Structure 1
Protein backbone atom coordinates (compact mmCIF):
# COMPACT_ATOMS: atom_id res chain seq x y z
CA UNK A 1 0.00 0.00 0.00
CA UNK A 2 1.53 3.36 -0.96
CA UNK A 3 1.93 6.07 1.65
CA UNK A 4 3.37 6.34 5.09
CA UNK A 5 2.50 7.42 8.60
CA UNK A 6 4.73 9.41 10.89
CA UNK A 7 4.53 8.54 14.58
CA UNK A 8 6.26 10.95 16.94
CA UNK A 9 6.71 11.47 20.65
CA UNK A 10 7.59 15.01 21.69
CA UNK A 11 8.28 16.74 24.97
CA UNK A 12 6.03 19.54 26.27
CA UNK A 13 7.92 22.10 24.18
CA UNK A 14 7.30 20.15 20.99
CA UNK A 15 10.88 18.93 20.63
CA UNK A 16 11.18 15.51 19.07
CA UNK A 17 12.06 12.62 21.39
CA UNK A 18 11.31 9.57 19.23
CA UNK A 19 10.10 9.11 15.66
CA UNK A 20 8.97 6.12 13.59
CA UNK A 21 7.84 5.98 9.99
CA UNK A 22 5.62 3.08 8.94
CA UNK A 23 3.54 2.06 5.96
CA UNK A 24 0.14 3.72 5.83
CA UNK A 25 -1.65 0.43 6.50
CA UNK A 26 0.02 -0.02 9.91
CA UNK A 27 -2.36 0.95 12.70
CA UNK A 28 -1.53 3.51 15.37
CA UNK A 29 -1.61 1.01 18.23
CA UNK A 30 0.57 -1.42 16.29
CA UNK A 31 3.25 1.21 15.69
CA UNK A 32 3.01 2.68 19.18
CA UNK A 33 4.38 -0.32 21.09
CA UNK A 34 7.90 -0.25 19.58
CA UNK A 35 7.85 3.55 19.66
CA UNK A 36 7.03 3.57 23.38
CA UNK A 37 9.74 0.98 24.06
CA UNK A 38 12.31 3.16 22.29
CA UNK A 39 11.11 6.24 24.17
CA UNK A 40 11.38 4.40 27.48
CA UNK A 41 14.88 3.10 26.69
CA UNK A 42 16.26 6.48 25.65
CA UNK A 43 14.39 8.66 28.19
CA UNK A 44 14.33 6.83 31.52
CA UNK A 45 12.72 9.73 33.41
CA UNK A 46 9.63 9.63 31.18
CA UNK A 47 6.53 8.83 33.25
CA UNK A 48 3.45 10.27 31.53
CA UNK A 49 2.52 10.33 27.84
CA UNK A 50 -0.55 12.03 26.42
CA UNK A 51 -1.97 10.41 23.30
CA UNK A 52 -4.97 10.82 21.04
CA UNK A 53 -7.90 8.45 20.73
CA UNK A 54 -6.16 6.23 18.16
CA UNK A 55 -4.01 4.75 20.92
CA UNK A 56 -6.79 3.48 23.20
CA UNK A 57 -7.38 -0.12 24.19
CA UNK A 58 -4.93 -2.69 25.47
CA UNK A 59 -1.99 -0.41 24.67
CA UNK A 60 -2.76 1.70 27.74
CA UNK A 61 -2.60 -1.33 30.04
CA UNK A 62 0.47 -2.73 28.25
CA UNK A 63 2.37 0.56 28.64
CA UNK A 64 1.57 0.61 32.36
CA UNK A 65 2.49 -3.01 33.03
CA UNK A 66 5.53 -3.49 30.81
CA UNK A 67 7.05 -0.01 30.56
CA UNK A 68 5.74 1.61 33.77
CA UNK A 69 4.39 4.53 31.74
CA UNK A 70 1.08 6.26 32.23
CA UNK A 71 -0.52 6.55 28.81
CA UNK A 72 -3.28 9.11 29.18
CA UNK A 73 -5.73 9.39 26.30
CA UNK A 74 -6.86 12.92 25.42
CA UNK A 75 -10.45 12.44 24.34
CA UNK A 76 -11.96 14.36 21.47
CA UNK A 77 -14.64 16.88 22.35
CA UNK A 78 -18.25 16.11 21.43
CA UNK A 79 -18.89 19.75 20.59
CA UNK A 80 -19.68 20.39 16.93
CA UNK A 81 -17.25 23.31 16.73
CA UNK A 82 -13.45 23.15 16.67
CA UNK A 83 -11.90 22.88 20.13
CA UNK A 84 -8.18 22.89 20.87
CA UNK A 85 -7.49 19.78 22.91
CA UNK A 86 -5.10 20.14 25.83
CA UNK A 87 -1.62 18.70 25.21
CA UNK A 88 -2.56 17.20 21.86
CA UNK A 89 -1.85 20.48 20.05
CA UNK A 90 1.85 20.17 20.98
CA UNK A 91 2.37 17.19 18.66
CA UNK A 92 0.17 18.72 15.96
CA UNK A 93 2.24 21.91 16.10
CA UNK A 94 5.47 19.92 15.79
CA UNK A 95 4.14 18.02 12.78
CA UNK A 96 3.05 21.24 11.11
CA UNK A 97 6.48 22.77 11.70
CA UNK A 98 8.10 19.71 10.17
CA UNK A 99 5.85 20.02 7.12
CA UNK A 100 7.46 23.38 6.34
CA UNK A 101 10.45 21.37 5.11
CA UNK A 102 10.09 20.87 1.39
CA UNK A 103 11.35 17.27 1.52
CA UNK A 104 8.70 16.34 4.08
CA UNK A 105 5.77 18.16 2.49
CA UNK A 106 5.66 15.66 -0.39
CA UNK A 107 6.34 11.94 -0.51
CA UNK A 108 9.79 12.17 -2.10
CA UNK A 109 11.35 9.41 -0.01
CA UNK A 110 10.66 5.81 -0.94
CA UNK A 111 12.20 4.15 2.10
CA UNK A 112 10.80 4.66 5.62
CA UNK A 113 14.37 4.92 6.98
CA UNK A 114 15.13 7.79 4.59
CA UNK A 115 11.90 9.54 5.56
CA UNK A 116 12.81 9.14 9.24
CA UNK A 117 16.26 10.61 8.57
CA UNK A 118 14.71 13.62 6.85
CA UNK A 119 12.39 14.16 9.84
CA UNK A 120 15.37 14.05 12.19
CA UNK A 121 17.31 16.44 9.96
CA UNK A 122 14.41 18.87 9.77
CA UNK A 123 13.92 18.77 13.53
CA UNK A 124 17.64 19.35 14.05
CA UNK A 125 17.38 22.47 11.89
CA UNK A 126 14.32 23.69 13.83
CA UNK A 127 15.97 23.09 17.20
CA UNK A 128 19.24 24.74 16.22
CA UNK A 129 17.37 27.81 14.93
CA UNK A 130 15.49 27.97 18.19
CA UNK A 131 18.73 27.77 20.17
CA UNK A 132 20.45 30.40 18.03
CA UNK A 133 17.58 32.86 18.26
CA UNK A 134 18.08 35.61 20.82
CA UNK A 135 15.23 36.16 23.22
CA UNK A 136 16.34 39.62 24.37
CA UNK A 137 18.00 42.37 22.38
CA UNK A 138 21.65 42.93 23.11
CA UNK A 139 22.09 45.38 25.98
CA UNK A 140 25.81 45.95 25.59
CA UNK A 141 26.98 49.32 24.42
CA UNK A 142 29.89 49.90 22.13
CA UNK A 143 31.96 53.05 22.06
CA UNK A 144 34.21 53.99 19.20
CA UNK A 145 37.40 55.87 19.72
CA UNK A 146 39.40 57.55 17.01
Structure 2
Protein backbone atom coordinates (compact mmCIF):
# COMPACT_ATOMS: atom_id res chain seq x y z
CA UNK A 1 0.00 0.00 0.00
CA UNK A 2 1.39 3.40 -0.95
CA UNK A 3 2.30 5.82 1.83
CA UNK A 4 1.32 8.94 -0.12
CA UNK A 5 -0.95 9.99 -2.97
CA UNK A 6 -0.02 11.49 -6.32
CA UNK A 7 -1.92 14.44 -7.86
CA UNK A 8 -2.93 12.14 -10.74
CA UNK A 9 -4.85 9.78 -8.42
CA UNK A 10 -8.64 9.62 -8.23
CA UNK A 11 -10.41 8.92 -4.95
CA UNK A 12 -11.57 5.44 -3.95
CA UNK A 13 -15.18 6.62 -4.23
CA UNK A 14 -14.65 7.83 -7.81
CA UNK A 15 -12.87 4.60 -8.73
CA UNK A 16 -15.76 2.47 -7.45
CA UNK A 17 -17.95 3.92 -10.23
CA UNK A 18 -15.95 2.04 -12.86
CA UNK A 19 -14.53 -0.88 -10.86
CA UNK A 20 -17.17 -3.41 -12.09
CA UNK A 21 -16.37 -2.66 -15.73
CA UNK A 22 -12.62 -2.91 -15.17
CA UNK A 23 -13.01 -6.20 -13.33
CA UNK A 24 -15.11 -7.59 -16.19
CA UNK A 25 -12.05 -7.49 -18.48
CA UNK A 26 -10.28 -10.14 -16.41
CA UNK A 27 -9.95 -13.43 -18.33
CA UNK A 28 -8.54 -15.66 -15.56
CA UNK A 29 -10.07 -17.10 -12.42
CA UNK A 30 -6.77 -17.03 -10.52
CA UNK A 31 -7.05 -14.78 -7.43
CA UNK A 32 -5.83 -11.23 -8.03
CA UNK A 33 -2.56 -10.51 -6.22
CA UNK A 34 -2.56 -6.71 -6.70
CA UNK A 35 -5.04 -4.04 -5.70
CA UNK A 36 -6.90 -2.90 -8.82
CA UNK A 37 -7.10 0.66 -7.53
CA UNK A 38 -3.29 0.84 -7.38
CA UNK A 39 -3.02 -0.45 -10.95
CA UNK A 40 -5.52 2.17 -12.09
CA UNK A 41 -3.64 4.99 -10.36
CA UNK A 42 -0.39 3.80 -11.95
CA UNK A 43 -1.94 4.12 -15.41
CA UNK A 44 -3.19 7.62 -14.52
CA UNK A 45 0.31 8.58 -13.33
CA UNK A 46 1.74 7.51 -16.68
CA UNK A 47 -0.97 9.41 -18.58
CA UNK A 48 -0.47 12.62 -16.61
CA UNK A 49 3.33 12.68 -16.44
CA UNK A 50 4.14 11.08 -19.80
CA UNK A 51 6.78 8.78 -18.32
CA UNK A 52 7.74 5.43 -19.82
CA UNK A 53 6.19 2.23 -18.53
CA UNK A 54 9.51 1.10 -17.06
CA UNK A 55 9.87 4.39 -15.15
CA UNK A 56 6.73 4.04 -13.04
CA UNK A 57 7.53 4.69 -9.36
CA UNK A 58 8.39 1.61 -7.33
CA UNK A 59 5.49 2.11 -4.90
CA UNK A 60 3.09 1.13 -7.70
CA UNK A 61 2.68 -2.51 -8.80
CA UNK A 62 5.32 -3.82 -11.24
CA UNK A 63 5.19 -2.02 -14.58
CA UNK A 64 4.66 -5.33 -16.42
CA UNK A 65 1.53 -5.93 -14.33
CA UNK A 66 0.21 -2.42 -14.94
CA UNK A 67 0.85 -2.72 -18.68
CA UNK A 68 -0.93 -6.08 -18.84
CA UNK A 69 -4.03 -4.68 -17.16
CA UNK A 70 -4.04 -1.62 -19.43
CA UNK A 71 -3.79 -3.91 -22.47
CA UNK A 72 -6.83 -5.85 -21.27
CA UNK A 73 -8.82 -2.65 -20.75
CA UNK A 74 -7.78 -1.40 -24.21
CA UNK A 75 -8.60 -4.54 -26.18
CA UNK A 76 -11.71 -4.07 -28.40
CA UNK A 77 -14.50 -6.64 -28.07
CA UNK A 78 -16.42 -8.17 -30.97
CA UNK A 79 -18.16 -4.83 -31.47
CA UNK A 80 -14.88 -2.91 -31.54
CA UNK A 81 -15.48 -1.29 -28.13
CA UNK A 82 -12.92 -1.46 -25.32
CA UNK A 83 -13.63 -1.48 -21.58
CA UNK A 84 -12.25 2.07 -21.32
CA UNK A 85 -14.64 3.29 -24.01
CA UNK A 86 -17.56 1.55 -22.32
CA UNK A 87 -16.67 3.17 -19.00
CA UNK A 88 -16.47 6.59 -20.65
CA UNK A 89 -19.68 6.51 -22.67
CA UNK A 90 -21.97 4.27 -20.63
CA UNK A 91 -21.20 5.35 -17.08
CA UNK A 92 -19.75 8.86 -17.35
CA UNK A 93 -20.78 10.96 -20.37
CA UNK A 94 -24.47 10.07 -20.04
CA UNK A 95 -24.41 10.50 -16.27
CA UNK A 96 -22.71 13.91 -16.57
CA UNK A 97 -25.35 15.11 -19.02
CA UNK A 98 -28.23 13.84 -16.85
CA UNK A 99 -26.69 15.60 -13.86
CA UNK A 100 -26.87 18.85 -15.87
CA UNK A 101 -30.56 18.25 -16.57
CA UNK A 102 -30.01 17.05 -20.14
CA UNK A 103 -30.74 13.84 -22.01
CA UNK A 104 -28.04 11.17 -21.90
CA UNK A 105 -27.54 11.41 -25.68
CA UNK A 106 -26.95 14.71 -27.46
CA UNK A 107 -28.86 15.98 -30.49
CA UNK A 108 -26.10 18.44 -31.50
CA UNK A 109 -22.42 17.66 -32.07
CA UNK A 110 -19.36 19.71 -32.98
CA UNK A 111 -16.64 17.92 -34.94
CA UNK A 112 -12.98 18.74 -35.47
CA UNK A 113 -9.56 17.12 -35.95
CA UNK A 114 -6.10 17.63 -34.47
CA UNK A 115 -2.80 16.56 -36.02
CA UNK A 116 -0.15 15.36 -33.55
CA UNK A 117 3.53 14.65 -34.12
CA UNK A 118 4.90 11.14 -33.61
CA UNK A 119 7.85 10.13 -31.48
CA UNK A 120 10.41 7.66 -32.80
CA UNK A 121 8.61 4.77 -31.05
CA UNK A 122 5.42 5.17 -33.12
CA UNK A 123 5.01 2.69 -35.96
CA UNK A 124 2.05 4.17 -37.85
CA UNK A 125 2.21 7.67 -39.26
CA UNK A 126 1.23 9.85 -42.18
CA UNK A 127 1.98 13.39 -43.32
CA UNK A 128 -0.55 16.20 -42.97
CA UNK A 129 0.54 18.61 -45.70
CA UNK A 130 -1.77 21.38 -44.46
CA UNK A 131 -0.41 21.40 -40.90
CA UNK A 132 3.11 20.24 -41.88
CA UNK A 133 2.86 17.44 -39.30
CA UNK A 134 4.13 13.87 -39.60
CA UNK A 135 2.20 11.68 -37.21
CA UNK A 136 -1.41 10.88 -36.38
CA UNK A 137 -4.71 12.74 -36.42
CA UNK A 138 -7.35 12.75 -33.67
CA UNK A 139 -10.96 13.16 -34.73
CA UNK A 140 -13.55 13.98 -32.05
CA UNK A 141 -17.22 14.95 -31.99
CA UNK A 142 -18.36 16.66 -28.79
CA UNK A 143 -21.61 18.11 -27.46
CA UNK A 144 -22.09 21.73 -26.34
CA UNK A 145 -20.46 20.89 -22.99
CA UNK A 146 -17.33 19.52 -24.66
CA UNK A 147 -18.09 15.90 -23.72
CA UNK A 148 -16.99 13.32 -26.34
CA UNK A 149 -19.56 11.24 -28.21
CA UNK A 150 -17.43 9.97 -31.11
CA UNK A 151 -13.66 9.55 -31.32
CA UNK A 152 -11.33 8.08 -33.93
CA UNK A 153 -7.57 8.09 -34.45
CA UNK A 154 -5.99 7.81 -37.91
CA UNK A 155 -2.67 8.56 -39.53
CA UNK A 156 -2.19 12.25 -40.29
CA UNK A 157 -2.60 11.82 -44.06
CA UNK A 158 -6.29 10.91 -43.65
CA UNK A 159 -8.56 13.87 -44.43
CA UNK A 160 -10.71 15.48 -41.75
CA UNK A 161 -13.87 14.41 -43.58
CA UNK A 162 -12.84 10.77 -43.86
CA UNK A 163 -11.73 10.66 -40.22
CA UNK A 164 -15.00 12.19 -39.00
CA UNK A 165 -16.98 9.59 -40.93
CA UNK A 166 -14.85 6.86 -39.37
CA UNK A 167 -15.63 8.25 -35.89
CA UNK A 168 -19.36 8.39 -36.66
CA UNK A 169 -19.31 4.86 -38.05
CA UNK A 170 -17.51 3.52 -34.96
CA UNK A 171 -19.98 5.14 -32.56
CA UNK A 172 -23.18 5.11 -34.65
CA UNK A 173 -25.12 3.12 -32.02
CA UNK A 174 -24.63 5.99 -29.51
CA UNK A 175 -25.58 8.75 -31.97
CA UNK A 176 -29.21 7.88 -32.66
CA UNK A 177 -30.51 11.21 -31.31
CA UNK A 178 -28.07 13.46 -33.21
CA UNK A 179 -29.88 15.87 -35.54
CA UNK A 180 -27.18 18.43 -36.39
CA UNK A 181 -23.39 18.35 -36.76
CA UNK A 182 -21.42 21.61 -36.73
CA UNK A 183 -18.08 21.68 -38.59
CA UNK A 184 -15.62 24.17 -40.04
CA UNK A 185 -14.66 24.81 -43.66
CA UNK A 186 -12.54 21.66 -43.82
CA UNK A 187 -15.73 19.57 -43.92
CA UNK A 188 -17.46 21.38 -46.80
CA UNK A 189 -18.97 19.22 -49.51
CA UNK A 190 -22.12 17.36 -50.44
CA UNK A 191 -20.45 13.92 -50.31
CA UNK A 192 -19.56 14.44 -46.63
CA UNK A 193 -22.98 15.82 -45.74
CA UNK A 194 -24.65 12.93 -47.55
CA UNK A 195 -22.48 10.35 -45.81
CA UNK A 196 -23.26 11.83 -42.37
CA UNK A 197 -26.96 11.80 -43.20
CA UNK A 198 -26.73 8.15 -44.20
CA UNK A 199 -24.68 7.08 -41.17
CA UNK A 200 -26.47 8.87 -38.31
CA UNK A 201 -29.32 10.78 -39.97
CA UNK A 202 -27.95 14.23 -39.08
CA UNK A 203 -27.65 17.48 -41.02
CA UNK A 204 -24.23 19.13 -41.41
CA UNK A 205 -23.85 22.83 -40.66
CA UNK A 206 -20.70 24.69 -41.70
CA UNK A 207 -19.49 27.48 -39.41
CA UNK A 208 -18.16 30.15 -41.75
CA UNK A 209 -15.25 32.36 -40.75
CA UNK A 210 -15.52 36.13 -40.82
CA UNK A 211 -14.36 37.69 -44.07
CA UNK A 212 -12.51 40.31 -42.03
CA UNK A 213 -8.81 39.54 -41.58
CA UNK A 214 -9.04 39.71 -37.79
CA UNK A 215 -9.29 37.04 -35.11
CA UNK A 216 -12.81 36.30 -33.93
CA UNK A 217 -14.14 33.52 -31.74
CA UNK A 218 -16.51 31.36 -33.77
CA UNK A 219 -19.70 30.66 -31.79
CA UNK A 220 -19.80 27.06 -30.44
CA UNK A 221 -16.67 26.13 -32.39
CA UNK A 222 -14.50 27.06 -29.40
CA UNK A 223 -16.07 24.20 -27.42
CA UNK A 224 -14.29 21.47 -29.38
CA UNK A 225 -11.02 23.40 -29.16
CA UNK A 226 -11.41 23.42 -25.39
CA UNK A 227 -11.84 19.64 -25.46
CA UNK A 228 -8.52 19.29 -27.27
CA UNK A 229 -6.99 21.54 -24.59
CA UNK A 230 -8.28 19.17 -21.90
CA UNK A 231 -6.41 16.34 -23.61
CA UNK A 232 -3.20 18.35 -23.71
CA UNK A 233 -3.21 18.64 -19.91
CA UNK A 234 -1.93 15.05 -20.06
CA UNK A 235 1.73 14.96 -21.06
CA UNK A 236 1.33 11.50 -22.56
CA UNK A 237 -0.84 13.14 -25.23
CA UNK A 238 1.46 16.04 -26.12
CA UNK A 239 2.89 13.79 -28.81
CA UNK A 240 1.96 10.35 -30.04
CA UNK A 241 4.20 7.94 -28.11
CA UNK A 242 2.26 4.77 -28.98
CA UNK A 243 3.20 2.09 -31.47
CA UNK A 244 -0.41 1.31 -32.44
CA UNK A 245 -3.31 3.62 -33.30
CA UNK A 246 -5.66 1.73 -30.99
CA UNK A 247 -3.40 2.47 -28.01
CA UNK A 248 -3.50 6.17 -28.88
CA UNK A 249 -7.29 5.98 -29.07
CA UNK A 250 -7.54 4.29 -25.67
CA UNK A 251 -5.39 6.94 -24.00
CA UNK A 252 -7.82 9.57 -25.30
CA UNK A 253 -10.73 7.60 -23.82
CA UNK A 254 -8.78 7.37 -20.57
CA UNK A 255 -8.06 11.12 -20.46
CA UNK A 256 -11.73 12.03 -20.89
CA UNK A 257 -12.77 9.32 -18.44
CA UNK A 258 -10.48 10.66 -15.70
CA UNK A 259 -11.70 14.20 -16.33
CA UNK A 260 -15.31 13.14 -15.75
CA UNK A 261 -14.46 10.97 -12.75
CA UNK A 262 -12.77 13.89 -11.02
CA UNK A 263 -15.79 16.08 -11.73
CA UNK A 264 -18.23 13.58 -10.23
Matching residue of 2:259:
126
Does residue 85 in structure 1 map to residue 200 in structure 2? no
1:26 aligns with 2:135: no
The structure 2 residue matched to 1:14, chosen from 127, 131, 146, is: 146
Once the two structures are TM-superposed, the CA of residue 93 in structure 1 deviates from its matched residue by 0.4
Instruction: Give TM-score, length-normalised by structure 1.
Output: 0.83
Structure 1: 4+ residue segments shifted above 4 A: none
| Structure 1 unaligned regions, length at least 5 | 132-146
Which of 179, 193, 196 in structure 2 is aligned with 1:47? 179
Unaligned 5+ runs, structure 2: 1-125, 127-133
Alpha-carbon offset, residue 28 of structure 1 = 0.9
Structure 2 counterpart of 1:60: 193
TM-score (norm 2): 0.47
- SS across alignment from 1:115: helix
Aligned length: 131
What's the counterpart of residue 113 of structure 1? Answer: 246
Match of 1:143 in 2: none
Q: RMSD value over aligned CA atoms?
A: 1.5
Given that 2:137 and 2:154 are in contact with CA atoms closer than 8 Å, whether structure 1 keeps it comes out as: yes
SS in 2 for 1:8: strand
